[in-house]
Amino acid sequence: MQKVYLDNAATTQVRDEVIARMQEALAVHYGNPSSTHSFGRSAKTMVEQARKTIAKTLNAQPSEIIFTSGGTEADNMILRCAVRDLGVKTIITSRIEHHAVLHTVEELEKEYGTTVWYVDLDEFGNPKMDHLEELLQKDGSKKLVSLMHVNNEIGNIMDIEAVGKLCKANGALFHSDTVQSIGHYPWDVQSVSIDFMTAAAHKFHGPKGIGFAFIRKNSGLKPMIVGGAQERGFRAGTEPFHNIVGLEEAFVRAYEHLEQETKAVKELKRYFVQKVKEEIPEAAFNGLSGDMDKSTYTLANVRLPLDKQKGLMLLFHLDMKGIACSKGSACQSGSDKGSHVLTEILSDEELEKPSLRFSFSMYNTKEELDYTVGVLKEFVQG
Ligand SMILES: Cc1ncc(COP(=O)(O)O)c(C=O)c1O
């Protein structure tokens, strides 16, 4: 049976070069980076080299990069520490953020009495800038804005520069969950007014369980995990050395080939969107995901002309045909609840129809997309 992997927003295939680098790290460089002997010292040098490489590409300073176990930890760390250490009393976010942000702010509401405001969204799921400005000016409390750059379900690209400017003008801190953006878009942290960002290697052909937080210098954040002196005391625990070099390798490759890989994946998405429009004209694209300029080139979220009953069978049918895609965020696949993102932007009638997220990578081919759209069409017509 043909196997087609179109769930790259959930996680990506690991590059061969990354696997080779990680294998070598596990087999050869197994010293503890904190040890003072030569095994430890060489591992430590490589950890610091990885940090430098990442920082250079983002135009950040190495000390501003903190390795974490991934996007979830980095989001938690920043939001929790900002409330605990920086006197943040109000968080402004949106209802279509990833649960790593949404559930954290809900916890902060309960634990610290943090006020949480949700910015209004337009019909496509973009934050309304005038409402954001209104919220930023609402009272004199210390505020932090947490809005993601690229939405992991509908692919909308937020105007991060405009949000950064607004935050700065109003004295608010700005965190962006950039997990679907880093490794896919060029970044220069000096050109955006941003305090905190988060990344996960497994979204750009690296290993799972590793990512980083960008925390701007002199932020005032204190450690969330204490113990040893790793990460300059900011995040204790023996460094997952193999994962850090895997992250570095994936990061370097992603940016080395960014232009050509973006072009190739964008062409796949363009082809898919076009094909869906031709073959299943009653299908619709959620959010801005059908718009090649206003959404990420890595995903499309399609609403199919099927009733609820048939819709329930759809994902199972695709799985039987060897096609992997998802209903939305992978983190909620285990729950019966529908997508919290689509619930915010679609009407009740639209929500009755099944929506699927197809997400692409350089490992996909047009033939795979032909096959997928063919299977979808047959199911819709059957
Ligand atoms: C936008 C976004 N934020 C955060 C995360 C969580 O990252 P991780 O899986 O590395 O914890 C994900 C992954 O699904 C994501 O897509």
- The pLDDT tens digits for 137-149 are 999 999 999 999 9
Catalytic residue among 81, 167, 325, 331: 331
Q: With contact defined as beta carbons under 8 Å apart, do 356 and 302 qualify? A: yes
ipTM: 0.99
CA of 200 to the centre of ligand 1 (A): 7
Q: Specify the pTM.
A: 0.96
**pLDDT tens track for 68-95:** 999 999 999 999 999 999 999 999 999 9
57 pLDDT exceeds 80? yes
**Positive/negative CA dihedral, 161, 213, 183, 371:** negative
| Domains of the chain (ranges, CATH numbers) | 4-12+258-381 (3.90.1150.10), 16-256 (3.40.640.10)
Residue 284, both tokens: 């619709």
Atom index in ligand 1 nearest the CA of residue 73 equals 11
CA of 70 to the centre of ligand 1 (A): 7
Alpha-helical segments (H) within the chain = 16-27, 38-58, 71-86, 99-112, 129-136, 160-169, 241-256, 258-279, 308-320, 340-345, 348-352, 366-381
Which residue in the block uniquely carries the two structure tokens 């690209």?
157
Find out whether the beta carbon of 152 lies less than 6 Å from any atom of ligand 1: yes
CA of 179 to the centre of ligand 1 (A): 6
Average pLDDT over residues 210-218: 97
- For a ligand 1 pocket test, name from 14, 79, 179, 296 the mutation site with the most ligand atoms within 8 angstroms of its C-beta: 179
In SS3 terms, 182-249 reads as ECCECCCCCCCCCCEEEEEHHHCCCCCCCEEEEECCCCCCCCCECCCCCHHHCECCCCCHHHHHHHHH
Nearest CA to ligand 1 atom 14: 10
Nearest CA to ligand 1 atom 16: 152
Q: Cβ contacts of residue 263 below 8 Å, gap of 6+?
A: none
Nearest CA to ligand 1 atom 8: 71
- Cα–Cα distance measured from residue 348 to residue 174, given in angstroms and rounded to the nearest whole number: 33
User: Which of 26, 75, 13, 34 lies closest to 238 in space, CA to CA?
Assistant: 34
Find out whether the beta carbon of 72 lies less than 6 Å from any atom of ligand 1: yes
Average pLDDT over residues 116-145: 97
Q: Which pLDDT score is estimated for 250?
A: 98
Q: Which pLDDT score is estimated for 336?
A: 53
- Percent of the chain exceeding pLDDT 70 equals 97
Identity of residue 304: L
Q: Which pLDDT score is estimated for 308?
A: 85
Find out whether the beta carbon of 100 lies less than 6 Å from any atom of ligand 1: yes
Strands of the sheet with 299-303, listed across from one edge: 284-285, 299-303, 355-359
- Give, as one character, the DSSP assignment of residue 89: -
- For a ligand 1 pocket test, name from 180, 185, 202, 333 the mutation site with the most ligand atoms within 8 angstroms of its C-beta: 180
Q: Which pLDDT score is estimated for 312?
A: 87
Find out whether the beta carbon of 280 lies less than 6 Å from any atom of ligand 1: no
Catalytic residue flag (residue 81): no
**pLDDT tens track for 294-308:** 999 999 999 999 998
